[in-house]
Structure 1
């Protein structure tokens, strides 16, 4: 099959950093706030009320255009997007992004599932589509945009989980070549866990109906314990499977990039792979939990800092929601910067 490479990454963080003090003025004393799942980052960014996921993706794409030329958009054959809070739940972000960029892709897909592991899933989808078609270039986009709109609502900003998410967008450029080859990808679905994440308005109202109540994603305290155990297991599990298939010991991985849900997960994951913390980049304190955007934003930060050596093996791994999906991918790094 033709080789497909991740040839570049870029990212965008909206506005100025929002300090934790913003939330402490509203917080109420509750036992959940002490749970390791909700220990607050130092900072995070919030998307503005009139800023959209497509706005963020367009800002991130500007860096790719600068590095790859003004005609880059015309080369894109596939656009795949994942948006945490769709601006238009009927249309999705892909068509509007294509219009803004001046692209005319043959395929535009909006991926709703796979949560924090969406970047890996979109890599897998783009690679499969490119390997079995004439498409040569794909753009994958992960936009997290619910921290500002959802977690600052008057009833929600008091909750223990409110300070943890941040907003941002990360994008990847894939080409049918061998400049930064994707070595292997593993994705797994666990449908038995799909019902363990709740979305409600804290009342009988459906989210699309008028009335009182503010929508929010939540877990019961008993489910948090289960989700934490799953996350500790699933991310190393898929990562180790990829390592086995490419014939590299986990301890020999050069850089391990995961989603960034909290500090304890990050520590447990690199311990499970027998890696020092220095080889597992951490953007949690600067960005909070960026959900699907966590992997590409962290990749871009490391790449711009010059810490990803061309030819090194970069391993990506993440799990989604309450553990209904997990994915990992290995790349022989060769991205531009």
Structure 2
């Protein structure tokens, strides 16, 4: 990423690590990433399930606009395959955990910097924190889960916690002076084919405005949206001036929309 952008490590003012799975509990995994890259700038982690990267973009945008930093590197790296090695006792438990078992291993990085060209045009975030219990990965270092990591996943409750969150997208776009038909590419979090199809139908998003990634990469969690951007570039689906909407949904539950001009 730095080589492609023709940047050296000392040109990064801030590094944010935004994955679900950190390499260690303490310190922030951002320190490990910075050390490997030779970056000596301030660093910290941001964690909000699959919306970590979106929230990191929101923070980076605010910090750059405030003049605190000029160039921010956002990094995520997931090792979700560790969940596939958790013991499964029976078919019922397999059915319950199946969505978790599709989480993949992937890394992604973005650079945000101050510019006089349009870039990030606006963002909108919302939460329904009453749904936090519907998808939980326990912390083996904290009681009552000492010594064990387990997954609690309730698909019906998780779906209910997301109910209606997509309706905020058209309203948020209107506050930014845009409408759904203006968007050239929608990047939508893709934890499953069915989930993505449901969201696209609810928002009336045409299939040709979405990059499908789940069938090949599984649930890319925090890297899902950057992956779709990378694939759009790879396949020639993005041109300068295109409007891109990044829409994320994450357990907790939270939803986030970021609007960009490419």
When normalised by structure 1's length, the TM-score is 0.70
Q: Structure 2 CA distance, aligned partners of 1:129 and 1:246?
A: 20
Deviations 1:12-36 (Å, cap 9, x if unpaired)? xxxxxxxxxxxxxxxxxxxxxxxxx
Which residue, 168, 172, 178 being the options, matches 1:248?
178
Matches within 5 A, 1:116-131: 116-131=50-65
Partner of 2:158: 227
Matched, 1:142 2:72: no
Partner of 2:45: 110
Deviations 1:122-175 (Å, cap 9, x if unpaired)? 1110111111134110011222212x2221234379723154211111211101
133-142 or 157-166: bigger deviation: 157-166
Deviations 1:283-313 (Å, cap 9, x if unpaired)? 0001111111111111111112221111010
Cα shift at 1:328:
0.5
Structure 2 contact 247–255 (Cα < 8 Å) conserved = yes
Cα shift at 1:229:
3.6
Cα shift at 1:176:
0.4
Unaligned runs of 5+ in 2: none
Matches within 5 A, 1:187-198: 187-198=125-136
Q: Does the C-alpha gap of structure 1 residues 163 and 191 become closer, same or farther in structure 2, counting only changes over 3 Å?
A: closer
Structure 2 contact 20–50 (Cα < 8 Å) conserved = no
Partner of 2:88: 155
Partner of 1:304: 234
Q: Does the C-alpha gap of structure 1 residues 180 and 284 become closer, same or farther in structure 2, counting only changes over 3 Å?
A: farther
Structure 1 contact 117–317 (Cα < 8 Å) conserved = no
User: RMSD of the alignment, in Å?
Assistant: 2.4
Cα shift at 1:252:
2.7
Q: Does the C-alpha gap of structure 1 residues 301 and 256 become closer, same or farther in structure 2, counting only changes over 3 Å?
A: same
Q: Does the C-alpha gap of structure 1 residues 237 and 286 become closer, same or farther in structure 2, counting only changes over 3 Å?
A: same
Unaligned runs of 5+ in 1: 1-63
Q: Structure 1 CA distance, aligned partners of 2:150 and 2:36?
A: 30
Q: Structure 1 CA distance, aligned partners of 2:122 and 2:260?
A: 7
Q: Structure 2 CA distance, aligned partners of 1:251 and 1:218?
A: 39
Structure 1 contact 238–326 (Cα < 8 Å) conserved = no
Q: Structure 1 CA distance, aligned partners of 2:160 and 2:118?
A: 34
Partner of 1:88: 24
Cα shift at 1:322:
4.3
Structure 1 contact 185–327 (Cα < 8 Å) conserved = yes
Structure 1 contact 197–218 (Cα < 8 Å) conserved = yes
Structure 1 contact 83–142 (Cα < 8 Å) conserved = yes
Q: Structure 1 CA distance, aligned partners of 2:172 and 2:110?
A: 20
Greater relative contact order structure (CA < 8 Å, 6+ sep): 1
Partner of 2:244: 314
Deviations 1:221-276 (Å, cap 9, x if unpaired)? xxx22322443522x23422331122222133110001111112211222222221
Cα shift at 1:206:
4.5
Tell me how many residue pairs correspond in the alignment: 256
